Amino acid sequence: MDQEISPSADAQENVVPLFELDNVLKECNKTFRIEASFMEDLQQSGSFADETTKTPKCYVRCLLDLTGVTELEDGKYDPEQAALLFDGQLEGTQKNDVEEMAKACMENRDEDLCNRAYAFVKCVLAKKRNKIR
């Protein structure tokens, strides 16, 4: 079983505002170095080409943590903050639609927080694809 990988304590204490997303991406890539192709696959297809690798999933967790999407006390997600994060990246959807998608994707309670974060993002992306078809 994979050891739990998590963002550094310093990173968790300093949630970055969404308008500084480039800094968040750089910060997460320091701890969870991934190739750009992983995120391109996620944006284009809604999943990673290789779902057996844990590092990209933890990268997603880091992004959610540092943008305030993850409520760190209970490991749940903030649908409103998720809508802000995905705003502009989910073409063809409105902010309220994204909030509803995020609410519908909060059921996964996988104990591995990296897997849970990845499942949440995959779910939101799948709902987005279904909505704009």
Domain span including residue 94 = 9-132
Q: How far apart are CA 28 and CA 62, in angstroms?
A: 6
Determine if the pTM surpasses 0.85: no
Lowest mean pLDDT among 11-25, 48-62, 103-117: 11-25
29 occurs within a structural domain = yes
For the segment 111-121, what is each residue's pLDDT rounded down to a tens digit?
899 999 999 99
Predicted local confidence at residue 120, as pLDDT: 94
Greatest mean pLDDT range, 63-77, 90-104, 109-123:
109-123
80 occurs within a structural domain = yes
97 occurs within a structural domain = yes
Q: Does the pLDDT of residue 91 top 70, yes or no?
A: no
Predicted local confidence at residue 2, as pLDDT: 44
Q: At 14, list the tokens.
A: 């300093």
124 occurs within a structural domain = yes
- CATH number for 95: 1.10.238.20
Nearest by Cα to 90 from 127, 41, 50, 48 = 127
Calculate mean pLDDT across residues 87-98: 67
Q: Does the pLDDT of residue 54 top 60, yes or no?
A: yes
For the segment 1-40, what is each residue's pLDDT rounded down to a tens digit?
344 455 545 444 555 555 578 889 899 999 999 988 888 8
8 Å CB contact between 91 and 32: no
Q: How far apart are CA 89 and CA 95, in angstroms?
A: 11
4 occurs within a structural domain = no
Q: At 110, list the tokens.
A: 């996988």
Calculate mean pLDDT across residues 65-81: 85
8 Å CB contact between 46 and 64: no
Domain count, the chain: 1
108 occurs within a structural domain = yes
Alpha-carbon 96 to chain mean position? 18
48 occurs within a structural domain = yes
Whole-Å CA distances, 106 to 35, 42, 124, 131: 27, 19, 10, 18
25 occurs within a structural domain = yes
